[in-house]
């Protein structure tokens, strides 16, 4: 590696181009190159196709790029744009700000209470299914079960409608699209043709939900507010759904076209089920390797919360959060020229031995942390202005389901879990087959 001195400051260390060329020729995943570039505490970079990228893992640097520098280091054309369009995750500038403002209040601790019955209902469904499997002695695929649960909770919360099997099939096919998206930065890739049918089915399903909601919505707009939406919706007494809120916005803001409403719904749907489902699957993978932790967590909500926090440390599904320097910047005294990609990598940050002793081991007892962590040291939900909108929702649904399942069942996998796949999300490869038994 070589540091490069330029007139107005040092550039970070850069990997030799030959190392990058060898990695590129090997076809290895991006995470392998990042591991080679990684030097704890330092900014290190590499060049590919004439573009410079700098790996950001030290908590101080993470805090600077995502937190205080959140307005200067922006999301460049997003890897998921072909799927998510201009929804909140991919939008930038004023468009993003106004989208976030519109939905923020719905996702606070108080805001998500309106969806508690959706989350509880979806959890009951899985518990009931596992009770049947336990009685019959049949195995199950945990990855699929937790995915059904997270699609169920988010679909009900977004639309205030129940989830039927056909809708589930169309919505869950999004995972094939997500799996086809590149982990790497470099502009929005086109979707491969084999996932076009899945995208068309998803779009049709979402547009139909919007059209149905519009009918209910206009039937209920003579009077105003939450009561009206409840009557127009499922009668669940939960107040307006996210879709109602978006249709309200469409009444006053021309930016909320049908296209943008679709993009926002798909964004919340994908962001809202993928990460939670994969995190729950990772939790079961780790618990299977640590049966003593599984026993301790049964019936103990604080231990369940710690299991989830530690799972998110070891396997943050948002393992790579790319940003882009639009102007010339200085980071920790180093020069970051305009046009540089900054690759914030929670996966590597979460394994920093300076912050996490014995970082590779699964030790839920680390949580809740006793001494405050340095800013930027733990960021499974991101930090700064673009931090996850659904943190509270995700933690609530994961804690509820995992708590109920561990309290009632023992779980034993029947095949080893798949290897980590570092795609746009960090997920375990393949299914997770297991036998579940009622605790006696």
CB-based contacts of 93, cutoff 8 Å, min separation 6: none
* Site membership for ligand HEM, residue 380 (CB under 6 A): yes
Nearer to ligand HEM among residue 39 and residue 309 (C-beta)? 309
Does 80 engage in binding with ligand HEM (CB under 6 A)?
Answer: no
Which residue, 313 or 386, is less far from ligand HEM as judged by CB?
386
Closest separation in Å from C-beta 389 to ligand HEM: 4
Cβ at position 337, least distance to ligand HEM in Å = 22
Q: Is 198 in the site for ligand HEM (CB under 6 A)?
A: no
What is the nearest approach in angstroms of ligand HEM to the Cβ of residue 84?
Answer: 9
Shortest separation between residue 322's beta carbon and ligand HEM, angstroms: 7
| 8 Å CB contact between 42 and 58 | yes
Least distance from C-beta 39 to ligand HEM, angstroms?
A: 23
> According to CB under 6 A, which one of 48, 118, 216, 386 is a site residue for ligand HEM?
386
- Which long-range contacts (C-beta less than 8 Å, at least 24 apart) are formed by 426-431? 426/278, 426/315, 426/316, 426/317, 426/318, 426/319, 426/347, 427/278, 427/281, 427/317, 428/143, 428/278, 428/281, 428/282, 428/285, 430/143, 431/141, 431/142, 431/143, 431/144
Beta bridge partners of 52: 47
Q: How many residues bind ligand HEM (CB under 6 A)?
A: 24
User: Cis peptide before 368, with omega less than 30 degrees from 0?
Assistant: yes
115 near ligand HEM, rule: CB under 6 A: no
- The angle at the Cα of 293, spanning 297 to 123, to the nearest 5 degrees, equals 40
H-helix or E-strand containing 12?
A: strand 9-14
Site for ligand HEM in 316-375 (CB under 6 A): 317-318, 321
**At its nearest, how many Å lie between ligand HEM and the CB of residue 366?**
18
Would you say 45 or 346 has its CB closer to ligand HEM?
A: 346
- 177-193 in b/e form (b: 16+ CB < 10 A) is bbebbebbbeebeeeee
Q: Identify the CA nearest to 147 among candidates 274, 257, 41.
A: 274
User: Which residue's CB is nearer to ligand HEM, number 20 or number 158?
Assistant: 158
Q: Minimum Å distance from CB 223 to ligand HEM?
A: 29
Q: H or E element: which one contains 120?
A: helix 116-136
Q: Is 390 in the site for ligand HEM (CB under 6 A)?
A: yes
| Spacing of C-alpha 144 from chain mean position | 17
Secondary structure E strands in 21-60: 44-48, 51-56
**Per-residue binder mask for ligand HEM (CB under 6 A), 93-112, x = binder:** -------x------------
Q: How far is the CB of 275 from ligand HEM (least distance, A)?
A: 3
Nearer Cβ to ligand HEM, position 351 or 435? 351
The pattern of x and - marking residues 266 through 305 that bind ligand HEM according to CB under 6 A reads -xx--xx--xx--x--------------------------
Nearer to ligand HEM, 318 or 423 (CB): 318
**Close Cβ partners of 55 (under 8 Å, ≥ 6 residues apart):** 34, 37, 38, 43, 44, 45, 46, 343, 345, 348
**Which positions touch ligand HEM (CB under 6 A)?**
88-89, 100, 154, 267-268, 271-272, 275-276, 279, 317-318, 321, 380-382, 386-390, 393-394
């Amino acid at each position: 590696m070589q540091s490069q001195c330029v007139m107005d400051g040092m550039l970070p260390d850069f990997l030799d181009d030959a190392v990058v060329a060898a990695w590129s020729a090997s076809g290895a995943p991006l995470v392998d190159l990042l591991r080679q570039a990684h030097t704890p505490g330092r900014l290190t970079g590499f060049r590919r196709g004439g573009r410079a990228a700098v790996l950001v893992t030290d908590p101080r640097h993470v805090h600077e790029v995502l937190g205080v520098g959140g307005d200067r280091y922006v999301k460049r054309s997003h890897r998921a744009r072909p799927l998510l369009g201009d929804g909140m995750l991919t939008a930038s500038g004023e468009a993003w700000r106004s989208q976030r403002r519109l939905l923020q209040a719905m996702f606070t601790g108080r805001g998500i209470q309106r969806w508690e019955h959706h989350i509880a209902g979806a959890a009951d469904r899985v518990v009931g299914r596992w009770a049947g499997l336990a009685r019959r002695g049949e195995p199950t695929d945990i990855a699929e079960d937790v995915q059904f649960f997270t699609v169920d909770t988010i679909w009900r919360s977004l639309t205030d409608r129940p989830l039927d099997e056909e809708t589930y099939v169309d919505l869950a096919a999004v995972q094939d699209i997500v799996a086809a998206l590149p982990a790497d930065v470099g502009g929005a890739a086109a979707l491969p043709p084999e996932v076009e049918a899945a995208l068309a089915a998803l779009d049709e399903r979402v547009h139909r939900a919007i059209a149905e909601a519009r009918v209910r919505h206009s039937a209920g707009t003579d009077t105003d507010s939450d009561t009206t939406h409840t009557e127009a919706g499922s009668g669940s007494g939960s107040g307006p759904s996210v879709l109602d809120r978006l249709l309200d916005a469409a009444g006053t803001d021309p930016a909320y076209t049908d296209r943008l409403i679709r993009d926002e719904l798909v964004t919340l749907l994908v962001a809202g089920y993928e990460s939670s489902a994969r995190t729950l699957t990772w939790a079961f993978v780790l618990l299977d390797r640590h049966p003593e932790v599984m026993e301790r967590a049964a019936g103990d909500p604080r231990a369940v919360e710690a299991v989830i926090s530690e799972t998110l440390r070891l396997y943050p599904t948002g393992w790579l959060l790319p940003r882009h320097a639009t102007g010339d910047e200085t980071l920790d005294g180093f020069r970051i020229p305009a046009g540089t990609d900054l690759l914030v990598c929670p996966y590597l940050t979460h394994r920093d031995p300076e912050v996490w002793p014995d970082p590779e081991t699964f030790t839920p007892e680390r949580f809740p942390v006793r001494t405050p962590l340095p800013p930027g040291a733990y960021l499974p939900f991101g930090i700064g202005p673009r931090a996850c909108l659904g943190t509270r929702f995700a933690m609530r649904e994961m804690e509820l389901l995992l708590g109920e399942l561990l309290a009632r069942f023992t779980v034993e996998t029947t095949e080893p879990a798949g290897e980590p796949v570092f795609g746009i999300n960090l997920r375990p490869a393949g299914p997770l087959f297991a036998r579940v038994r009622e605790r006696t």
